[in-house]
Amino acid sequence: MSHNQESGVEALSEKYADVPRLIILKLDLQRRGITLSDAAADATCTPYYRGPEVTAFSTKETAVRPLPGPILLRDGTSVLTGPTDSTLLKPYTVDYIDGKFYVYDNGERLDEVDFSPRPEFYGKLTSRGVPMESIAWSRPQRLDLYPYRYCHYWDTREQCKFCGFFTDLKTQKQLAGDSYAKIVHPEDLFETVREAIKEPGRFSQINLTAGTDYSGEVPFENEVKRYVEVLQAIGRNFKTRRFPSQLIAPAYSKQQVKRLYDETGLSSYCPDIEVWDKELFKWICPGKEKWYGRDYWIKSALDAVEIFGKGNVYTNFVAGVEFVQPHGFTSIEQALDSNFEACEYFSKNGVVYLSIVWRPGRGTGLAGQQQPPLEYYVRLIRGLVEIRKHYGLASDNDDFKHCGNHGDSDLERLN
Amino acid sequence: MSKLPEELIALLHDTGSIKVIATIDGEGHPHVVVKGSLTTLDNETIVFAEGLEGSLSNKNLVRSIWFDKKVAINITKGLTSYQVKGRPYKYLITGSVFRQLLDRARERRGAEADIAGVWVITPEEVRNESPAVRSSLAREERGLFHSHLDLLRHSE
Ligand code: SF4
């Protein structure tokens, strides 16, 4: 697949007139990443925007210029992207001129953008003295919590090949224990959420994710127990039984999922399939293949619909890794067929199959691999939304304002 | 961006004026709703709170910002009326302006009031729709031809 003659945002928004230019821009901001000009970096360090000094992923190095929250496009779409210094990816530049941020491509101004502002709980400590900003990270309308900062797939080098979570992105090693605690105390989570939701209108969803811990007499038992405790602690903050929330976690047995539903206020469950094709799943996600393979992951998602209800179970895939060589697809049509087949299957069974744009991170097993062209992502999100619409599915838990990862759920704003 | 007329700014700030916005759906059908929160914060753009992400009005506004369509706004109090045509420029889901309109909504409608987002409209055409102004303009253009004669007769 040669990308030398790739079409950019403007050409593709003319070719695909039914896909908003802003959403195509979002896809490419995610695909290529960004760099901040000095002026933009300075502006994001002002009190209105300043990001967390310490995060769930922080190493001992102090962040001199902490990264701000996600980008916001003019239509309110949040964009989860990040700085990249890779010349291979040709990142966009964000500059700050006359009090506004703009995104540039090769010196050409494309649009005005903004960054998610700093929430009021950053800078505060829990009663145990833990910085709240190391417990929760703020997206424009979502609070992200990482109760367990270690993935045991890495112990046996069976981590997902695209993953760089909880590493310093250089040494490819899990950092918990050396740089930060592995387990977050449920009371710190309770207090952080309590503080965060005092800010009027700031959050409308809580998301939990973590590394995988398959330990326990029954596999994953310790992890499920931990999530129950954590969700119960968070739930003490709400007057309603259920609260808007999502757990991104491994595939659990039906009993384990039922326990999470019955004993906590969780409202949505998301076991990520990552890549649909059977052989690619085995190769790219060896840990998931071992505990307990693609069919188990699919069954877990489908079973969870009986518990959480249609549209409240999600599964994300990392769009683009299906092209990774030497085993990946070599044509866009193959990749689209595979993902549309997956979307059709999941949608028919009440599960939302959502795309995430893959950007090969430094320090991941796929660094240096080539991404598919932007046009692939445009065609992909159009197709996914059509299929889900046909089955009456919406992605409220992962929409334009809550996540920032999914161009396909952004398009659902008109459905 | 140019400043809005003073009289219109006063109307926008007046909580007693009636404010409506017209949008069009995917088939081009118009949809009109009252927007009590509609105001200006900078005397150049118009902002208002949207209560529901899935409302017809909001979907039409999303379609407008995505595919470059206009919206029309009318602000009226008594015999003073303005129409503004413009384009949605931004939809704010967080930040200081969002917070300002959320606080106002809660002051006006109680502590349980909530908003989904805040639209910012860039005006492109401002038209004074007050009956007296329109009549006098019509007379300037077309003379008295459309006036009813009883209004032109001598009083007895
Ligand atoms: S499950 Fe895969 S993607 Fe998630 S932290 Fe572990 S290795 Fe990374």
CATH number, position A316: 3.20.20.70
- Helix axis angle for B56-67 and A21-32, nearest 10°, is 70
Residue B130: the pLDDT is 97
Closest residue by Cα to residue A43 from A113, A143, A140, A134: A113
Task: Indicate if ligand 1 lies below 6 Å from the C-beta of A321.
Answer: no
Contact between A116 and A68 under an 8 Å Cβ cutoff? The reply is yes
Tell me, yes or no, whether B74 lies in a domain. yes
Which residues does A62 contact at the CB level (< 8 Å), separation at least 6?
A53
State the pLDDT confidence band at A2, using cuts at 50, 70 and 90.
very low
Classified as helix, coil or strand, A83 is strand
CATH number at residue B33: 2.30.110.10
A64 pLDDT more than 70: no
Tell me, yes or no, whether B53 lies in a domain. yes
Residue A135 tokens read as 């417990």
CA–CA–CA angle A94, A165, A344 (5° rounding): 85
Tell me which range, A75-84, A87-96, A277-286, is most confidently predicted by mean pLDDT: A277-286
B91/A74 CB distance under 8 A = yes
Please spell the DSSP secondary structure of B88-104, one letter per residue: EEEEESSSHHHHHHHHH
Output the CA–CA distances (angstroms, integers) from residue A161 to A154, A316, B86, B136, in the order listed: 10, 15, 49, 74
> Is A310 an interface residue toward B (CB < 8 Å)?
no
Please spell the DSSP secondary structure of A289-323, one letter per residue: HHTT-HHHHHHHHHHHHHHH-TTSEEEEEEETGGG
Nearest Cα of chain A lies from the Cα of B29 at a distance, in angstroms, of 15
DSSP state of B2: P
Nearest Cα of chain A lies from the Cα of B111 at a distance, in angstroms, of 10
Cα dihedral angle (A370, A375, A380, A381), rounded to 10 degrees?
120
What is the percent of chain A with per-residue pLDDT over 70, rounded to a whole number?
Answer: 94
Mutate to test the interface with A, among B93, B99, B120 (most CBs of A within 10 A): B93
Contact between A81 and A99 under an 8 Å Cβ cutoff? The reply is no
- Gap between the terminal Cα atoms of chain A: 34
Compute the mean pLDDT over every residue in chain B, rounded to the nearest whole number.
96
Residue A172: the pLDDT is 66
Tell me, yes or no, whether A240 lies in a domain. yes
Which residues does A335 contact at the CB level (< 8 Å), separation at least 6?
A322, A323, A329, A372, A376, A380
Tell me, yes or no, whether A2 lies in a domain. no
CA–CA–CA angle A299, A304, A309 (5° rounding): 135
Output the CA–CA distances (angstroms, integers) from residue A12 to A28, A343, A384, in the order listed: 11, 24, 18
Which residues does A115 contact at the CB level (< 8 Å), separation at least 6?
A44, A49, A68, A69, A70, A71, A72, A101
A201/B63 CB distance under 8 A = no
Closest residue by Cα to residue A247 from A184, A160, A314: A314
On the CB side of B30, how many CA atoms lie within 13 Å of its CA? 9
A240 pLDDT more than 70: yes
Tell me, yes or no, whether B57 lies in a domain. yes
Contact between A369 and A361 under an 8 Å Cβ cutoff? The reply is no
Note the ipTM here: 0.95
Tell me, yes or no, whether B96 lies in a domain. yes
Tell me, yes or no, whether A148 lies in a domain. yes
The H or E element containing residue B131 is helix B131-142
As for how many domains chain B has, the answer is 1
For residues B11 and B76, what is the distance between their CA atoms, to the nearest angstrom? 7
- Closest to B94 (Cβ–Cβ): which among A23, A75, A202? A202
Tell me, yes or no, whether B155 lies in a domain. no
- Closest to B89 (Cβ–Cβ): which among A20, A74, A116? A74
Tell me, yes or no, whether A3 lies in a domain. no
State the pLDDT confidence band at A167, using cuts at 50, 70 and 90.
confident
For residues B68 and B89, what is the distance between their CA atoms, to the nearest angstrom? 10
Atom of ligand 1 nearest to the CA of A164: 8
A85 pLDDT more than 70: no
Tell me, yes or no, whether A1 lies in a domain. no
Domain membership of residue A46 as a residue range: 9-414
Q: How many residues does chain A have?
A: 415
Tell me, yes or no, whether A25 lies in a domain. yes
Tell me, yes or no, whether B113 lies in a domain. yes
Q: What is the pLDDT of residues A389-406, one digit of tens each?
A: 999 999 988 999 999 999
Place of tokens 């931990």: A226
Q: Which of A57, A157, A160 to mutate to test the pocket of ligand 1 (most atoms within 8 A of CB)?
A: A160
Place of tokens 């496009």: A73
Contact between B73 and B38 under an 8 Å Cβ cutoff? The reply is yes
> Is A20 an interface residue toward B (CB < 8 Å)?
yes
The H or E element containing residue A260 is helix A254-263
A169 pLDDT more than 80: no
Q: Which residues pair with A114 in a beta bridge?
A: A72
Contact between A362 and A86 under an 8 Å Cβ cutoff? The reply is yes
Task: Indicate if ligand 1 lies below 6 Å from the C-beta of A49.
Answer: no
Tell me, yes or no, whether A67 lies in a domain. yes
Please spell the DSSP secondary structure of A98-110, one letter per residue: TTEEEEEETTEEE
Tell me, yes or no, whether B115 lies in a domain. yes
For residues A118 and A44, what is the distance between their CA atoms, to the nearest angstrom? 10
Task: Indicate if ligand 1 lies below 6 Å from the C-beta of A146.
Answer: no
For residues A44 and A31, what is the distance between their CA atoms, to the nearest angstrom? 22
Residue B144: the pLDDT is 87
A223 pLDDT more than 60: yes
Contact between B4 and B44 under an 8 Å Cβ cutoff? The reply is yes
Tell me, yes or no, whether B124 lies in a domain. yes
A1 pLDDT more than 90: no
Minimum Cα–Cα distance from B114: chain A residue: A201
As for how many domains chain A has, the answer is 1
Domain membership of residue B108 as a residue range: 6-130
Mutate to test the interface with A, among B45, B65, B66 (most CBs of A within 10 A): B66
> A2-11, A263-272, A388-397: which has the minimum mean pLDDT?
A2-11
Minimum CA distance residue for ligand 1 atom 4: A211
Closest residue by Cα to residue A230 from A251, A207, A214, A252: A207
Residue A45 tokens read as 């360090």
